Amino acid sequence: MIPKETVDKIIDTARVEEVVGDFIALKRRGVNLLGLCPFHGEKSPSFTVSPAKGIYKCFGCGKGGAPVNFIMDHEQLSYPDALRWLAKKYSIEIREEELTPEKIAENNDRESILQTLAFAQKLFSETLHNSDEGKIIGLSYFEERGFSKAIIDKFQLGYSPEKNSFFEEELTKSGFKPEFAERAGLITKRDNGTGYYGRFAGRVMFPVHNIAGRVIAFGGRTLKKEKNIAKYVNSPQTEVYNKSEVLYGLYFAKKEIIAKDNCLLVEGYADVISMFEAGFENVVASSGTSLTVEQIKLIRRFTKNVTILYDGDAAGIKASFRGINLILEEGLNVRVLLFPDGEDPDSYSRKVSNSELQTFIDANTQDFISFKTNLLIAETKGDPVKRAGLIKDIVESIALIPDPVIRSVYVQECSRIMTIEEQILHSEVNKLRRKNREKNADKSDVPEGEYSVIKSGELSTEDNTHQQQNNLAELLDDISFQERDVIRILVLFGNHDIEAEVDLEGEKRMHTFKVSQVIEHELNEDHYKFRNTVFQTIFDEVLKENASDNFLDIKYFVNHSNAEIRNFAIDVFETPYKLHDWERKNIFINTEVQQIKLTVNGAIYSLRLKLIEKMKKEISEELKHEISDDKMIDLINQIMGLDAGKRHFAFTGLGRVVIR
């Protein structure tokens, strides 16, 4: 259990823009920040972060919440684990019981696997630095490669000893269950059923971190020269590791990728680390797999620009053309850098100085058309058929680019390089796009990225009024609208002060209450039970806390561990009634705050009126004739203790009441 004060401290400290900013690039848009939603694939940003309100909301998929909810959703963590994650980020100490093996067993499986992987990483690092075998074999290898102590520590490199049972023994000593180490891909059961053997025995270890910095897998490199031993062994797919969704180094590179607005893509672990050593920190690797769409989407969270760094091996480069097309298709700009023959980023960065490397990169980075053309043009010399093939190949790539402006720029470029009329290329590109669209038509309903940013939650005033009028009849017949308004006010303004008259043994006095107390008083007087169970749950919780003078505020509900309550709170916080942007929403809320009495009374009155209307309907049906409105008003005035014969209120149809 995390003590309540610590929970409060974590929630108060965590800044939504900082937490979300760890996972996606955010651009300022007015008072808010905007980015690409990490929860659903999108190409134009509809993910809004409001630093002032401390919440995020995606207008595409509807996900929203406070920092803790973001971490729960993104990192697949429970509520307490998400709090622990935030505590770690903000260096807030949590005083709770030490994690004993028994305690670990209680945690969910995913967490146990991650803790086992973290244990393995520490063990391998300690072995690298503190054992003779580690120092002689592992450390000297890394030093030979030019990795500094700082870089070895940063990437948490390690060494797994030759002795096969080493890992299993250490595991048991520390009270970890082999079951989770097996599920983490660290050990495998022996065929004869006697214990396990370590997957990585006798290898230098490269931990693979997820975007939040936790170790989720390993790559192990052997230093033996024997041909029958695989140079690299990687973790298998596990419950916490899907290699097609992970980029090696991204956790360390993401800040610099945002700063440089460019992501360098290399092939292997050593390439990433060497580039870091050379001072290039915006670099990641798709190690162990050819580039996947998921990996490109990860990059897209931070930048739209990718530079692929290739070693000078022509066969490998041709095989990677598919990767270029995938990147283009995801709407990213791709540039390519080819290292001299026989060199890769790792070897070349060690050969030249850092500034020479920078000069080399600047001078030799090409756009993909020049790159492809330069690479293939030699083969097409004097062969018109091959030349046509190359053009077709490039046109196919261009046709994948979603943005028409960028497409057109590339058409010009291709026209120039291949000396072919622009118009011909344009019509080819368009033909291909039509074909692709038809092909995709049955795959997805609406082409992604062609939505406008304005979604349901952001409808303009006019649209909304219109829609509300259409729904009016429906609303009028349904009490849930009035219930919603009362709970909305309770959640938004429950802890605000309100002046109310109290009758103390005949003496009337003004007294300051909390809004939630007034609502509690009014509804309890009616013995009101909410039809909607979520609303009743919120109400019950408010009553319980009111009893101990703890008045819940909007922040409490926005952070609620119950998703239904949380989503409701975000919804009302985000979209009061008919608003277009956050600033105006604030104005709206301010008006309600200034007239808090009217707001509260109006909502309760509307709810009562609704109840009475229902009663009236029932009574009328029973009596077989209708009660007149005047009679009705009298009835209400009586109930509300108001002067008879006067029409104090008019029902506006929006659950809002205006005093006349």
Q: Are 333 and 304 in contact (CB under 8 A)?
A: yes
By CB under 5 A, which span of 56-64, 420-428, 446-454, 604-612 interacts with Zn ion? Answer: 56-64
453 scored as a contact of Zn ion (CB under 5 A): no
DSSP-based three-state secondary structure for 68: helix
40 scored as a contact of Zn ion (CB under 5 A): yes
By CB under 5 A, which span of 50-58, 222-230, 404-412, 561-569 interacts with Zn ion? Answer: 50-58
The tokens describing 23, both together, are: 């996972």
The tokens describing 344, both together, are: 């890769």
What is the CA 633 to chain-centroid distance, rounded? 52
Nearer Cβ to Zn ion (270/298): 298
One-letter identity of residue 98: E
Q: Which stretches of 320-412 are assigned E, i.e. beta strand? A: 333-338, 366-367
Nearer Cβ to Zn ion (442/445): 445
Distances from the Cα of 82 to the Cα of 67, 69, 93, 96, 561, angstroms: 9, 8, 14, 15, 11
Binding mask 407-426 for Zn ion (x = CB under 5 A): --------------------
Nearer Cβ to Zn ion (70/251): 70
114 scored as a contact of Zn ion (CB under 5 A): no
What is the CA 108 to chain-centroid distance, rounded? 22
Give the largest CA-CA distance in the chain: 108
By CB under 5 A, which span of 35-43, 189-197, 263-271, 471-479 interacts with Zn ion? Answer: 35-43
| Minimum gap (Å) between residue 41 Cβ and Zn ion | 9
Nearer Cβ to Zn ion (58/270): 58
Q: Are 48 and 36 in contact (CB under 8 A)?
A: no
How many other CB atoms are found less than 10 A from the CB of residue 117? 26
DSSP-based three-state secondary structure for 65: strand
Distances from the Cα of 6 to the Cα of 73, 99, 406, 530, angstroms: 21, 18, 50, 33
DSSP-based three-state secondary structure for 281: coil
By CB under 5 A, which span of 59-67, 331-339, 536-544, 622-630 interacts with Zn ion? Answer: 59-67
| Minimum gap (Å) between residue 214 Cβ and Zn ion | 23
User: Which residue reads 């809320």 in tokens?
Assistant: 589
Between CA 480 and CA 490, with CA 485 as vertex, the angle to 5 degrees is 125
By CB under 5 A, which span of 61-69, 157-165, 430-438, 509-517 interacts with Zn ion? Answer: 61-69
| Minimum gap (Å) between residue 614 Cβ and Zn ion | 39
DSSP-based three-state secondary structure for 197: strand
Count of residues near Zn ion by CB under 5 A: 6
Nearer Cβ to Zn ion (321/451): 451
By CB under 5 A, which span of 54-62, 86-94, 224-232, 520-528 interacts with Zn ion? Answer: 54-62
| Minimum gap (Å) between residue 44 Cβ and Zn ion | 12
Nearer Cβ to Zn ion (48/601): 48
| Minimum gap (Å) between residue 60 Cβ and Zn ion | 4
Bridge-partner residues for 417, per DSSP?
A: none
Nearer Cβ to Zn ion (408/575): 575
By CB under 5 A, which span of 52-60, 104-112, 224-232, 494-502 interacts with Zn ion? Answer: 52-60
CB environment 100-113: b (16+ within 10 A), e (fewer) = eeeebeebeebbbb
CB environment 35-68: b (16+ within 10 A), e (fewer) = bbbbeebbbebbbbbbbebbbbbbbbebbbbbbb
| Minimum gap (Å) between residue 63 Cβ and Zn ion | 5
Q: Round to whole Å and give the CA distance between 429 and 435.
A: 10
Binder of Zn ion out of 39, 90, 141, 577 (CB under 5 A): 39
Bridge-partner residues for 502, per DSSP?
A: 509
Nearer Cβ to Zn ion (120/558): 558
Nearer Cβ to Zn ion (40/260): 40
33 phi and psi, to 5 degrees? Answer: -120, 145
Binder of Zn ion out of 15, 22, 51, 61 (CB under 5 A): 61
| Minimum gap (Å) between residue 47 Cβ and Zn ion | 6
Q: Are 48 and 34 in contact (CB under 8 A)?
A: yes
By CB under 5 A, which span of 33-41, 388-396, 556-564, 595-603 interacts with Zn ion? Answer: 33-41
HEC string for 453-486: CCCHHHCCHHHHHHHHHHHHHHHHCCCHHHHHHH
Nearer Cβ to Zn ion (60/158): 60
By CB under 5 A, which span of 51-59, 467-475, 558-566, 608-616 interacts with Zn ion? Answer: 51-59
58 scored as a contact of Zn ion (CB under 5 A): yes
| Minimum gap (Å) between residue 572 Cβ and Zn ion | 20
Q: Round to whole Å and give the CA distance between 200 and 122.
A: 15
Binding mask 347-366 for Zn ion (x = CB under 5 A): --------------------
Nearer Cβ to Zn ion (170/448): 448
Nearer Cβ to Zn ion (313/448): 448
37 scored as a contact of Zn ion (CB under 5 A): yes
Binder of Zn ion out of 54, 60, 138, 202 (CB under 5 A): 60
By CB under 5 A, which span of 37-45, 197-205, 419-427, 476-484 interacts with Zn ion? Answer: 37-45
Nearer Cβ to Zn ion (40/135): 40
What is the CA 470 to chain-centroid distance, rounded? 35
| Minimum gap (Å) between residue 58 Cβ and Zn ion | 3
| Minimum gap (Å) between residue 36 Cβ and Zn ion | 9
Nearer Cβ to Zn ion (45/134): 45
Q: Round to whole Å and give the CA distance between 240 and 181.
A: 12
197 scored as a contact of Zn ion (CB under 5 A): no
Name the DSSP letter for residue 532. Answer: S
Q: Are 569 and 557 in contact (CB under 8 A)?
A: yes
| Minimum gap (Å) between residue 453 Cβ and Zn ion | 12
13 phi and psi, to 5 degrees? Answer: -80, -40
Q: Round to whole Å and give the CA distance between 240 and 112.
A: 10
Would you tell me which residues interact with Zn ion (CB under 5 A)?
37, 39-40, 58, 60-61
